[in-house]
């Protein structure tokens, strides 16, 4: 079968419109990493189990290894590169740094984006709600305890700025 | 690296447009909704459509509405929306039970109800829940809509009656009359958070005015090779009988006896058969408790405060 023609897509990524010609089969995670050079989002299990590739599509966190780039056409994507605002880290990022919420850091971008979404909807989540929200994301280093602490720290310091 | 094979892509602007595209591309096209079932299958090359027809933007198919006698769920309703929908309270609490344990919260935000049932995975949770509720599947096609009982919807693993030019648009559930004491529940055992079930059972029951005689029973089973995702023999046994501990236990035995689980990485067949029986019993118990609680005025069954045994 002949290769299908590329499709022109325009995706607003972290506030900037990005237009590219892509194959319809291209996955969003590869579009972000390979076409746009945004390597903060990590490509992990490839089976929508690990959550390392979580980004926001419009207002929802999604596993970008299971979303086609063409689906994002005309939509907004927010990646870990878009968590900070005007050079100020998001409280979730500060929490992960302060509470040692990461070791190798591979799962961290996805964890932080889901955590940001959780806090936007539930500003003061108990640890059980944090565990539930992050239950589709895998960390092989921390044993999760420090990730829970990091998200709690962000909940308790919603207007924090790094020292 | 897992990537889908070459594929063409069309975005549908309406249900009518989707049907036109399906007619144009024929059986080599597949409908793309949330993609959380289809895209993994395409990565594994278990599905290799030549064209994807993306219906993901059709807001007209994303709804949950409750009228007097009916709960209607649009095919593009996400799992998260169904989980949060107040319309599923009371006698449809089985849907909240099931949605709470389908995949994980992030997947539930994008995966759709219609996409899940059209995937027809033999371990799919909603298939059992809808079988218990005797749902009606509404399918749009070139000649208009047709309705198919969910128990006739699945024709085999990964196969449904939805034809190549057709589209599942809606799932309809008939509510029991307000005078009935009706309750439902879903019980699942999995290996870890977000996994497919090792086995799961869903139950819908209604009780007579005597608060004891079973006037309707639906039992859905998944992941255990149950014919049409239901336990028809156990349903038949319960009908007209009292909701006693003994009868509930017997129904579990019958359900376990009639399913055909196979051994795989999720567990040996005899363990799954045991679970089919035990989870049928637990779901029955909980459904009966919820049905009985309906007389307490609020009708707000399905809360997290479920008690112990029947």
Residues A72 and A41 in one domain: yes
The confidence score (pLDDT) of residue B305 equals: 37
**Under an 8 A CB cutoff, do B36 and A23 touch?**
no
What is the domain-level CATH number for residue A44? 3.10.20.30
A136 or B90, which is more confident? A136
Quick check: is A113 in a domain? yes
Asked which of A34, A63, A82 is the last residue of a domain, the reply is A82
Residues A31 and A73 in one domain: yes
pLDDT digits (tens, 9 = 90+) for A16-40: 999 999 999 999 999 999 999 999 9
Q: How confident is the model at residue A161 (pLDDT cuts 50, 70, 90)?
A: low
Residues A47 and A25 in one domain: yes
Q: Which residues contact B225 (CB under 8 A, 6 or more apart)?
A: B122, B259, B260, B261, B262
Rounded Cα distance, B49 and B6, in Å? 9
- For chain A, the average pLDDT equals 95
Residues A98 and A116 in one domain: yes
The confidence score (pLDDT) of residue A4 equals: 57
Closest CA to B184 of B83, B61, B88, B43: B88
Q: Which residues of B touch A23 (CB under 8 A)?
A: 6
Quick check: is A12 in a domain? yes
Residues A17 and A53 in one domain: yes
Quick check: is A148 in a domain? yes
Quick check: is A44 in a domain? yes
Chain A residue at shortest CA distance from B36: A66
Residues A75 and A119 in one domain: no
Rounded Cα distance, A45 and A63, in Å? 11
Quick check: is A40 in a domain? yes
**Under an 8 A CB cutoff, do A60 and B109 touch?**
yes
pLDDT digits (tens, 9 = 90+) for B156-204: 999 999 999 999 999 999 998 877 899 999 999 999 888 999 999 999 9
Q: Which two tokens stand for residue B72?
A: 């209607």
Asked which of A38, A64, A82 is the last residue of a domain, the reply is A82
A51 contact B CB<8A: yes
Q: Match 């995949």 to its residue by tokens.
A: B103
> What is the residue range of A33's domain?
7-82
**Under an 8 A CB cutoff, do B6 and A57 touch?**
no
Give buried/exposed letters for B13-38 (b at 16+ CB in 10 A, else e): eebeebbbbbeebeeebbbbbbbbbb
Instruction: Note whether A124 and A130 are within 8 A (CB).
Output: no
Burial environment of residue A155 by CB neighbours within 10 A (0 to 12, 13 to 18, 19 or more) = buried
The confidence score (pLDDT) of residue B89 equals: 84
Residues A21 and A61 in one domain: yes
Size of interface A-B (CB pairs under 8 A): 89
Q: pTM score, two decimals? A: 0.94
Rounded Cα distance, A138 and A51, in Å? 7
Taking chain B (310 residues) in consecutive chunks of 10 residues, what is each chunk's mean pLDDT? 93 98 97 96 96 97 93 98 92 96 97 97 98 98 97 96 97 88 97 93 95 96 97 98 98 98 97 98 98 63 38
Quick check: is A2 in a domain? no
Instruction: Note whether B35 and A68 are within 8 A (CB).
Output: yes
Residues A104 and A75 in one domain: no
Asked which of A52, A82, A112 is the last residue of a domain, the reply is A82
What is the domain-level CATH number for residue A108? 1.10.150.120
Residues A145 and A115 in one domain: yes
Residues A73 and A109 in one domain: no
- Give how many domains chain A has, as a whole number: 2
B89 contact A CB<8A: no
B43 vs A46, A49, A71: nearest CB: A46
A75 contact B CB<8A: no
Rounded Cα distance, B6 and B8, in Å? 7
The confidence score (pLDDT) of residue A5 equals: 72
**Under an 8 A CB cutoff, do A4 and B7 touch?**
yes
Quick check: is A161 in a domain? no
Q: How confident is the model at residue A117 (pLDDT cuts 50, 70, 90)?
A: very high
**Under an 8 A CB cutoff, do A70 and B9 touch?**
yes
**Under an 8 A CB cutoff, do B109 and A137 touch?**
no
- Containing B98, the helix (H) or strand (E) segment is helix B93-100
Instruction: Note whether B37 and B196 are within 8 A (CB).
Output: no
Residues A57 and A97 in one domain: no
Rounded Cα distance, B208 and B302, in Å? 20
Q: How confident is the model at residue A10 (pLDDT cuts 50, 70, 90)?
A: very high
B3 vs A25, A54, A57: nearest CB: A25
Q: Which residues contact B180 (CB under 8 A, 6 or more apart)?
A: B206, B207, B215, B216
A55 contact B CB<8A: no
pLDDT digits (tens, 9 = 90+) for B53-86: 999 999 999 999 998 789 999 999 999 999 999 9
Residues A48 and A111 in one domain: no
Quick check: is A68 in a domain? yes
Closest CA to A162 of A68, A78, A93: A93
Chain A residue at shortest CA distance from B54: A71
């Amino acid at each position: 079968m002949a290769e299908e023609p590329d499709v022109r897509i325009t995706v607003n990524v972290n506030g900037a419109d990005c237009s590219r010609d892509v194959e319809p089969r291209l996955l969003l995670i590869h579009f972000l990493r390979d076409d746009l050079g945004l390597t903060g989002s990590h490509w992990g299990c490839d089976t929508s189990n690990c959550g390392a590739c979580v980004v926001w599509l419009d207002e929802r966190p999604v596993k970008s290894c299971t979303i086609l780039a063409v689906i994002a056409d005309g939509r907004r994507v927010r990646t870990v590169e878009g968590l900070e605002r005007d050079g100020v880290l998001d409280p979730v990022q500060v929490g992960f740094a302060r509470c040692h919420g990461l070791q190798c850091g591979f799962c961290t971008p996805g964890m932080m984006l889901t955590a940001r979404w959780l806090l936007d909807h539930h500003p003061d989540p108990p640890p059980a709600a944090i565990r539930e929200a992050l239950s589709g994301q895998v960390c092989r280093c921390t044993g999760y305890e420090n990730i829970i602490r990091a998200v709690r720290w962000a909940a308790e310091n919603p207007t924090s700025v790094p020292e | 690296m897992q990537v889908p094979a070459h594929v063409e892509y069309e975005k549908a602007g309406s249900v009518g447009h989707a049907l036109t595209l399906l007619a144009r591309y024929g059986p080599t096209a597949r409908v793309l909704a949330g993609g959380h079932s289809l895209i993994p299958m395409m990565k594994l090359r278990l599905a290799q459509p030549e064209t994807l027809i993306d219906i993901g933007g059709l807001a007209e198919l994303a709804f949950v509405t409750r009228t007097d006698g009916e709960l209607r769920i649009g095919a593009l309703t996400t799992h998260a929306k169904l989980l949060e929908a107040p319309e599923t309270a009371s006698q449809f609490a089985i849907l909240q039970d099931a949605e709470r344990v389908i995949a994980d919260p992030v997947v539930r935000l994008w995966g759709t109800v219609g996409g899940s049932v059209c995937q027809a995975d033999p371990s799919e949770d909603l298939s059992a829940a809808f079988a218990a509720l005797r749902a009606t599947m509404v399918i749009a096609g070139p000649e208009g809509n047709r309705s198919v009982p969910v128990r006739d919807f699945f024709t085999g693993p990964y196969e449904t009656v939805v034809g190549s030019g057709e589209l599942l648009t809606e799932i309809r559930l008939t509510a029991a009359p307000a005078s009935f004491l009706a309750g439902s529940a879903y019980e699942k055992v999995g290996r870890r958070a977000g996994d497919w079930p090792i086995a799961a059972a869903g139950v819908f029951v209604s009780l007579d005015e005597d608060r004891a005689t079973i006037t309707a029973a639906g039992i859905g089973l998944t992941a255990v090779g149950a014919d049409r995702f239901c336990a028809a023999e156990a349903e038949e046994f319960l009908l007209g009988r009292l909701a006693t501990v003994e009868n509930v236990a017997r129904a579990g035995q019958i359900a376990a006896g009639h399913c055909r689980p196979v051994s795989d990485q999720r567990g040996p067949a005899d363990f799954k058969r045991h679970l089919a029986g035990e989870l049928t019993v637990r779901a029955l118990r909980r459904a009966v408790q919820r049905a009985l609680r309906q007389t307490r005025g609020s009708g707000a069954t399905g809360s997290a405060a479920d008690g112990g045994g029947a």
